[in-house]
Amino acid sequence: MKKLLVIGYVWPEPDSSAAGSRMLQLLDIFQRQKYQVFYASPALLSDHMVDLETLGITKVSIELNNSNFDDYVKALNPNIVLFDRFMMEEQFSWRVEKQCPSALRILETVDLHCLRYARHQAVKNNKDANKPENINYHNDIAVREIASILRCDLSLLMSEVEVKILKDIYHVDKDLLLYLPFMYDSLDKNEVIKKWPVFAQRKNFTTIGNFRHEPNWDSILYLKNEIWPFIRQKLKNVELHIYGSYLPKKAQQLHNEKQGFLIKGWADDAIETISQYRICLSPLRFGAGMKGKLADAMLSGTPSITTSIGAESMQDGYDWPGFVYDTPEKIANSAIELYQDEKVWLEKQQNGITIVNNVFNKTENEKQFVTKLVSVIASLEENRKNNFTGMMLRHHTMKSSMYMSQWIEAKNKLVERE
């Protein structure tokens, strides 16, 4: 049987982040393509991680800077190794190449970390992160991340904007990239309308997201300080309920019942939770990739109000299921309007169904992924010869990573003996 080894930055938590649910979508595809799946990670086990064994996936704990991984991967001899984010490629790809040189190496970017970082820096400097002239694309994280992409045989991107940035700014060969958005089963309009709570049954606003993710935390502060006070002034008895995993004390301190700003914390089922609310607010001022909370809002029939960065690469020319604005005033005014207008609300709800069935179409997106996979495997040797920059990076960068890792391992052994 064909083998897939995933080296995960974290253990998959589909109820905590878009990255977690995205990973399960990929694992499901490989299993249906008859791959035996092994998921390895140096991360600590978590309370919210999915039970991989029940999915038929072998779970393996590994360590950074430990040559035991060499023995493991050599014995496993996987056909494909998928690195979950560039940090795992940096740590383990030289070991994979040394022990399993013929294994296809795939990078799951989740989002472009260097783009998210650059946009965050722009916001910190009180600049508009939507404007390219405010973005420092050539930052230290970009140097590492783009090198990782060039070293791999294929990189998966959830955002067409990021594919374009990689091609136009960093001059990455298009053959090394694959745009692969979220993948969901199509929604039957008549069936979901019967299942979803209707307009009159819903009340209040919600927002949801992992509190550890900096764009989410920034958006909560943005709501608290600049958007929610205006909404609350116009809609006196309406509340904003904020959900998310890894609730920190600083977030709990924002809870204020008099202001209708309520910190709820963990939600057992994000889609079921969001479906109880009339509107999802997600005013993201920076970030990258696709936004899982906005996709969940569409899957729950809940119109959303977000920013240009929030909606980035999620529309593909279709009308947004809500409103997209980039100033606090317009975000707040559109929220008030949509909350009170059932006719417009229903129209926006339908837009979400359209996007799920077209942009996030599981059948079509999976088909293009499998087709690309077969093509890359068939021409692997030729592709690697054509990617001379990647060859140079593997030779030089990976040598330095190898020596550094071996030095750390030797140092750790000396410490253990003392």
User: pLDDT by residue (tens digit) across 42-65?
Assistant: 999 988 999 999 999 999 999 998
| CATH number of residue 220's parent domain | 3.40.50.2000
For the chain, the average pLDDT equals 95
Q: Specify which residues 59 forms β-bridges with.
A: 39
Residue 193 CA: distances (Å) to CA of 28, 37, 300, 315, 353: 28, 37, 10, 21, 10
Mean pLDDT, to the nearest integer, of 295-324? 97
pLDDT, residue 395, reads 81
Same domain? 240 vs 341: yes
* Sheet containing 240-243: order of strands: 261-265, 240-243, 205-208, 279-282, 304-306, 322-324
Q: Are residues 277 and 213 in the same domain?
A: yes
Look up the domain containing 197 and give its range: 189-358
Rounded to whole angstroms, the Cα distance separating 68 from 62 reads 8
Residues 25 and 153 in one domain: yes
Q: Are residues 351 and 413 in the same domain?
A: no
User: Total domain count for the chain?
Assistant: 2
| 334 in the same domain as 315 | yes
Lowest mean per-residue pLDDT among 74-78, 176-180, 387-391: 387-391
The predicted pLDDT at position 60 comes to 97
Instruction: Please tell me the predicted confidence (pLDDT) of residue 224.
Output: 97
- Domain shared by 274 and 345, yes or no: yes
Is a pLDDT exceeding 90 seen at residue 283?
yes
| Residue 203 phi, psi dihedral angles, 5° rounding | -155, 160
- Domain-terminating residue out of 313, 333, 358: 358
Q: Can you tell me the distance from the alpha carbon of 186 to that of 368, in angstroms, rounded to the nearest whole number?
A: 17
135 burial level (CB within 10 Å; 0-12, 13-18, 19+): buried
Give yes or no: residues 217 and 290 share one domain: yes
**For residue 413, pLDDT beyond 90:** no
Element containing residue 60 per DSSP (H, E): strand 58-61
In the structure, what pLDDT confidence band is assigned to residue 396 with cuts at 50, 70 and 90?
confident
Asked if the model's pLDDT at residue 77 lies above 70, the reply is: yes
CA dist., res. 2 & res. 62, Å (int): 21
If one compares 133 and 417, the residue with the highest pLDDT of the two is 133
What pLDDT is stored for residue 399 in this prediction?
A: 65
- pLDDT for 47 equals 87
228-266, pLDDT tens digit by residue? Answer: 999 999 999 999 999 999 999 999 999 999 999 999 999
For residue 27, pLDDT over 80 is answered with yes
Q: Are residues 121 and 202 in the same domain?
A: no
Side-chain half-sphere CA neighbours of 250 within 13 A: 7
**pLDDT (average), residues 261-273:** 95
- Percent of the chain's residues with pLDDT above 90: 91
User: Is there a single domain that holds both residue 239 and residue 161?
Assistant: no
Which element (helix H / strand E) includes 106?
A: strand 104-108
CB 327 within 8 A of CB 306: no
* Residues 175 and 202 grouped into a single domain: no
For the segment 383-407, the average pLDDT, to the nearest whole number, is 79
- At 15 the pLDDT is 86
Q: Are residues 216 and 177 in the same domain?
A: no
- pLDDT per residue as tens digits for the range 95-115: 999 999 999 999 999 999 999
Higher pLDDT pick, 410 / 271? 271
Domain endpoint, select from 341, 358, 375: 358
Q: How confident is the model at residue 410 (pLDDT cuts 50, 70, 90)?
A: low
Looking at 327, 358, 389, the residue that finishes a domain is: 358
Same domain membership, residue 213 and residue 143: no
Predicted local confidence at residue 171, as pLDDT: 97
33-37, 81-85, 405-409, 413-417: least confidently modelled range: 413-417
Q: Is the pLDDT of residue 415 over 60?
A: no
